[in-house]
Every structure is written in C-alpha cells, then in structure tokens.
Amino acid sequence: MYMEYATLINGVRIPVIGFGTYKAVAGEDKDVIFRALQVGYRHIDTAAFYNNEEIVRDSIARSGIPREEIFITSKLWKDSMGYRQAKESFRKSLERLGTDYLDLFLIHWPKSSLEKEDWESEMQETWRALEELYEDGKVRAIGVSNFLPHHLMTLMETAKIAPMVDQMEFHPGYMQKTAVDYCQQHDILVEGWSPIGRMRMADDPTVAEMADRYDCTVAQLCLRFCLQCHVVPLPKSSSEERMRENLDVFDFEISQKDMSVLMTLPQLAWSGEHPDRERVYF
C-alpha cells in the first residue's frame, strides 16, 4: 500500500495517515489493530487513557513487521501531569508497548483539571520531563494534544524545545483555523483526530454530493481534505474494507473551489470537546 511521509522540524519522518485506536478495540474483537497493520498502516496512535497499549504491542508482534518500520505514538493522561508523573507514565507506556523507545510522545490535554489554578506551572514541568526524555534518546519526537495557541504560548515561556506536533480535532465543519494556522506558522505539525467527524459528515448534503462527484467515499473526501490542509489525519475503523479505503486517497485532488466550500461549511460534527470548557454533549 502506497504511503507518503511528512517531516517534522527535527527531521523525523512520519506517515501522513495514521490509525487512531481510541475505542477501536471494542467488545471481543481484539484484532482491529492487527488488521490495520496487515492492510498497510505504519503509524499507530495510542495513549495511556485508551487502555490498549498491550494490544498494540501484541498486534505488532503478531504482524512480524520490524519495530523500526512502525511509527508509534502514545500520550500521558491528565492524571500524569507533572515532572515525576510524566516520567513514570512514559516508563509504563514503554513497558505496556514492549518497546525501548517511542516515535512520538504527547501531553494529552493542557490541564489536569479545569479547576487547576496553577495549571501553567504544572504543564511546564510536564514538558520539562518530555524534553529530558527526548534529549536522552528515549523518544524521537515530542509534542502536545488539544493545545490551543494560548496553551502553546504558556508552554514556550519556559521550554527549551518547541513541540513538534499538536494533535487536535480537525475535519470539514470544525477546522480550528486559528490553532492550525498558529501551529503551521511555528513549524508544529498538526495531526487531526476524528478527521471523518464520526461519520456525521455523511449526513451533510454538500459533503455527500461532493464525494459523489469525486467518485469517492465521504471518508476519503474528508481525509483528502486533511492532507491538502497539511494535516495528518488519524482515522479509525474496524472494517478491513474501510481501512483500505481510508489509505486510498493519494490518486485524486480536491479543486481549490471545492476546498473553499469545505473550509467554509457551518460548524458540524464537532465532538463537543474543548480544553478550557466542560464537554458539550450533542
């Protein structure tokens, strides 16, 4: 399966489509990640909070694919914010993943809680731990997740190393343009979680009609949209057919006019997640 790569500011290459694993392993089906590897994914996104790092480990072992050919990301959860806690979270993730290094390690959310008064110093101390892990060669790249520009500005007040990645919700109808523009202006690669909008995008007639015109699925249209916005999408699926479809987005291009239509859609398919607010349910 053909795959393109992006290059982080430190020279590390990353496959431009990853496989998101949040809630991917449902019920008794423990083979989802293994199937994704068989289909051709070489970029696996997990996190301590997902409770599936051991399944990622076992799937990679079963696949027979050399470790160095797979880009593995994990993240520390809110309860592991702080210097010492971040180091311990990283150690446990390595243990669960059965590897002696990570390709990318992220701070999952900027605040351990919305009520935390000294979140700025806690986040800065967390980042200091990631910087040391990077300098010690235990992780090839470090970054953040769900950070908006004001969070990044706070982090950079004390940081020695700038984040190389910021992972955030991104799809037509919820582009977070201010955050994406800020990251790209500062050489921070943006990764997009929920790039298909939990398939609610298919309910929008504009998106559905456009997918028909490009002879592709709505998911493929959304993923291609991400790539043309220079955002690395992290789709997930339990269906092998859809896994393959989600990788098959390199042979067409959305026109500038249609990109404008997708970029200016009214807000839709938002998850309700925001780093500075309680979750909004829909």
Residues annotated as part of the active site: 50
CA dist., res. 10 & res. 12, Å (int) = 6
**Distance of CA 146 to CAs 45, 107, 143, 236, Å?**
14, 9, 10, 18
| DSSP per residue, 27-95 | TT---HHHHHHHHT--EEE--GGGT-HHHHHHHHHHHT--GGGSEEEEEE-GGG-SHHHHHHHHHHHHH
* SS3 label, residue 147: coil
CA dist., res. 175 & res. 70, Å (int) = 28
**Distance of CA 192 to CAs 32, 91, 115, Å?**
20, 26, 27
- Burial (CB < 10 A; 0-12, 13-18, 19+), residue 29, is exposed
| Helix 32-39 × helix 53-63 angle, to 10° | 40
Beta bridge partners of 232: 191
Q: Rounding to the nearest 10 degrees, give the CA dihedral for residues 149, 153, 155, 160.
A: 120
Q: Rounding to the nearest 10 degrees, give the CA dihedral for residues 143, 145, 150, 154.
A: -40
